Amino acid sequence: MVSGGERCIDATISQMSMEHNEVTDYYEVEWAENPLATIIRLTDEGRLRLKLGIAIDGIHEARVLFKLIREQNDIKWADKFDPPEDVEAWIDEWAKSCEQGLHEQHCGDCTHVPMTCVKCLAENRLGFCTISGLGGAEGSAIQAAFSGGDCMTIDEAIAYLNGPISASWEGWEAHLPRWRAEHDSAARWLQTYKELHRNDVA
């Protein structure tokens, strides 16, 4: 299947709607104060589109594995192809997991956590991205602002990211230039996000 790191490839943040709630035939987007927690609610058409995306991913994976078997003439690759007995049930189960992920926070490669982000995976299958243009390091900094930094609003998160950086372990100062650059980049991204999606919210 497509990796969570291969995420949200079809849009840039500057192309997104400026409305707090964006509605299409496939989904409604509720842009949150914490962009990692933005919620996507699917319509029936959106659920069908999600299932089609999952099916296409499965077909692509099978093609790649068969290509390896043919080109390398090595049957060991066949062991990696284990199609489900009930394909429709498998797709339905994946679709349920992905739809649930659309209501949860981004967490995975997109925030420098070594795991697949189900939310990114689902958004990619819909051809949409709520954190387009955000790098993993910046995503991690924003995650820290809204969790460890106890920020509740975008303005608080931006102030946190623009604020002083410190740590309690020996040698942390050597990392300060990189951390400073990542925090500054995350703050700029958040400011753009705010202007696009949250300025109209009282």
Longest dimension (CA), the chain: 63
Burial 163-179 (b: 16+ CB within 10 A, else e): eeeeeeeeeeeeeeeee
Q: Would you state the pLDDT for residue 127?
A: 87
pLDDT in tens, the chain (202 residues): 444 433 333 333 333 443 455 667 889 999 999 999 999 999 999 999 999 888 888 777 777 777 766 677 666 655 655 666 777 888 888 899 999 999 999 999 999 999 999 999 999 988 889 999 999 999 999 999 999 877 899 999 999 999 999 999 999 999 999 999 999 999 999 999 999 998 765 4
The number of C-alpha atoms within 13 Å of 162 and in the hemisphere containing its C-beta is 11
Token representation of residue 138: 């910046």
HSE-up of 40 (CA within 13 Å, CB side)? 32
- pTM of the entire predicted model: 0.77
d(CA 44, CA 182): 39
